[in-house]
Amino acid sequence: RVAVVGAGVSGLAATKCCLDEGLEPTCFEQSQDIGGVWRYTEHIEAKRPSLYSTVISNTSKEMSAFSDFPYPEDFPVFLPNARLLDYLRLYAERFGLRKHMRFETTVVSIRQRPDFATTGQWDVVTEANGKQTSHVFDAVMVCSGNFYEPSLPLHCFPGIEKFQGQYFHSRQYKHPDMFQGKRVLMVGMGNSGVDIAVEASRVAAKVTISTSQGAWLFSRVFDHGYPWDMVFNTRLMSLIRNKLPGPFVRAFLNYKVNQRFNHENYGLQPDKSCQMREPVLNDDLPSYILTGRITIKPGVKEFKDNSVVFHNCPGEEPIDMVVFCTGYNVSFPFLEETVVKVENKHASLYKYIFPTHLQKPTLSVLGLIKPLGAIMPVVEMQARWVTRVFKGLCQLPPRSVMEKEVNEKKKNEVRRFGLSYDEVLKTDCLVYTDELASFIGAKPSVLGLLCTDPWLALTIFFGPCSPYQYRLGGPGRWEGARQAILTQWDRTLKPTRTRVPSSSSSSWPSLLAVVGFLLLLAAVVFGF
């Protein structure tokens, strides 16, 4: 029996993977429906994620699908939050997940049972309708997310107590009307900060983004008009990013991100351009900077009564409102600190999943990661591995080995991504998912396919690393995986090619024309 905490993306994947492995999941969700962060509500609910009404996914539908359940072909390429929630509901219906869920039920506490050393079992206390109930579970999958407890480090901003205007965390934002005619400052330059700045600039008198580090900016529309992640997250690109010499990789990435526009000219260039910072996804920011709607400034030095002073900038900037886009804290209020200890917004977990010190590996944390790509396939692969660990089909290494890796990974990620608020949660999604897939025997073999199914092998290596690749073999193999991979571009183009000129050609000729070149290149790469 497995307790699943939360019915968002991670909780749905966990419940489904438990059923696939013959386990008995019970998913506890404190709200009245599934969806987690993707379920929009007009009012902010305590201990629940909160998003604004116009949120659109930053990853394309083909890269964001669960590996055995493609999106309907008529869904848009990048999904408004309501359409993504529709997909999650279709997924829950298709695999019969709702009957395993207990809505409006809060998990109050999760504690090791007295005989944990031998049984690995947990005492779970839940509350519904004011009544508490105790349960015993053989394992626990924590899928509560990390977007509900805002981080608001006001002590880092001298003078904020004197500021006479309004300030709040981005979690409070719902609609841009509140900015009408105001001079607005956004502190922080993550995806939410830039989105809100763009929306605010349409009604505000002035919008300024303060960023101490800068950021690379990607557009959803990438090379030749294709979705950014279907071009960027391929096995070929991953090979370039992770296997070639560092100076070459840095030069290539600098060239690639500056190809659309020079980040330095727009005040966006990261301070240390040698680091691969997490890109910000926004289609409008460059043009809004060009037209003066948005101004980029350095970090805040101090606040005055009705103004702000920036580092290395003379004078004061008058402002009326401040939105702190400063991220979220990681917390598990239902767990004892000895089970999962959080320091500096980081929980020390093996492969971002398992506490390293438990006598039995029967508790896991899913989704506590910042992949440079879609979260759905990553948490699904986490759940596939975790459920097989619970069953004893996969084994974890000794505690000393796990702790050593956790410490080394933390150092490496800080060195690679820099000291941003969630630096140690960031990872290359393809490398990470491949690693987990190899643990359960589901990692695709490009070399093997090159001998038996060369067209599929080429598509897998040069094309998008879509989730269906992890259902070609191993446990959970899906018969429709090959077809889903070969038709992924059809589903991508279906909602956009709504007007096709009579002289239009097929969407595939360019690929067919260079197939010989790709075969040759593949032979060179694999031979090397």
- Pick from 276, 280, 279: nearest CA to 242: 276
Position 419 scores a pLDDT of: 36
Position 418 scores a pLDDT of: 41
Q: Summarize the confidence of residues 348-361 as an average pLDDT.
A: 94
Query: What number of CA atoms fall less than 13 Å from residue 7's CA on the CB side?
Result: 28
Q: How high is the mean pLDDT of the chain?
A: 90
Query: What number of CA atoms fall less than 13 Å from residue 203's CA on the CB side?
Result: 9
Please state which architecture CATH assigns to domain 2-148+329-433: 3-Layer(bba) Sandwich (3.50)
Distances (CA, A) of 111 to 73, 101, 119, 347, 364: 44, 21, 13, 18, 14
Position 345 scores a pLDDT of: 64
Burial class (CB in 10 A: 0-12, 13-18, 19+), 144: buried
Between 9-20 and 81-94, two packed helices, what is the crossing angle to 10 degrees? 20
Q: Summarize the confidence of residues 265-277 as an average pLDDT.
A: 75
- 395, pLDDT greater than 50: yes
- 247, pLDDT greater than 90: no
pTM, two decimal places: 0.92
CA dist., res. 30 & res. 89, Å (int): 17
CA dist., res. 182 & res. 177, Å (int): 10
Task: Report domain extents, the chain.
Answer: 2-148+329-433, 152-219+260-326
Are the beta carbons of 325 and 168 closer than 8 angstroms? no
Position 505 scores a pLDDT of: 56
Ramachandran angles phi, psi of 62, nearest 5°: -70, -30
Instruction: Compute CA 190 distance to the chain's CA centroid, rounded to the nearest angstrom.
Output: 13
- 272, pLDDT greater than 80: no
Confidence band, pLDDT 50/70/90 cuts, at residue 94:
very high
Are the beta carbons of 88 and 9 closer than 8 angstroms? yes
Distances (CA, A) of 100 to 1, 147, 243, 517: 11, 24, 44, 50
Position 277 scores a pLDDT of: 65
300-303, strands of its sheet edge to edge: 300-303, 307-310, 317-318
State what percent of residues in the chain have pLDDT above 90.
Answer: 76
Q: What number of helices (H) and strands (E) belong to the chain?
A: 17, 24
Choice among 225-234, 318-327, 332-341, 518-527 with the minimum mean pLDDT: 518-527
- 498, pLDDT greater than 80: yes
Per-residue pLDDT tens digits for 37-83: 999 999 988 888 899 999 999 999 999 999 999 999 999 999 999 99
CA dist., res. 310 & res. 323, Å (int): 16
Are the beta carbons of 482 and 78 closer than 8 angstroms? no
- Pick from 160, 149, 148, 213: nearest CA to 322: 160
- 379, pLDDT greater than 80: yes
Tell me the three-class secondary structure of 252-297, residue by residue.
Answer: HHHHHHCCCCCHHHHCCCCCCCCCCCCCEECCCHHHHHHCCCEEEE
Position 342 scores a pLDDT of: 78
Position 421 scores a pLDDT of: 34
73 CB contacts (<8 Å, ≥6 apart)? 490, 491, 494, 495
- 344, pLDDT greater than 80: no
Position 428 scores a pLDDT of: 80
Per-residue pLDDT tens digits for 26-43: 999 999 999 999 999 999
State what percent of residues in the chain have pLDDT above 70.
Answer: 91
Distances (CA, A) of 127 to 29, 71, 102, 107, 469: 11, 35, 11, 6, 40
Annotation: CATH topology of 152-219+260-326? FAD/NAD(P)-binding domain (3.50.50)
Position 416 scores a pLDDT of: 45
Q: Where are the alpha helices (DSSP H) in 75-201?
A: 81-94, 116-119, 191-201
Position 506 scores a pLDDT of: 52
- 201, pLDDT greater than 50: yes
DSSP 398: P
Instruction: Compute CA 476 distance to the chain's CA centroid, rounded to the nearest angstrom.
Output: 23
Q: Indicate if 152-219+260-326 has the same CATH topology as 2-148+329-433.
A: yes
The DSSP H or E segment spanning 435 is: helix 429-440
Position 274 scores a pLDDT of: 43
Ramachandran angles phi, psi of 323, nearest 5°: -115, 115
Residue 240, SS3 per DSSP: helix
Confidence band, pLDDT 50/70/90 cuts, at residue 414:
very low
- Pick from 359, 374, 346: nearest CA to 281: 374
Confidence band, pLDDT 50/70/90 cuts, at residue 504:
low
Q: Summarize the confidence of residues 3-20 as an average pLDDT.
A: 98
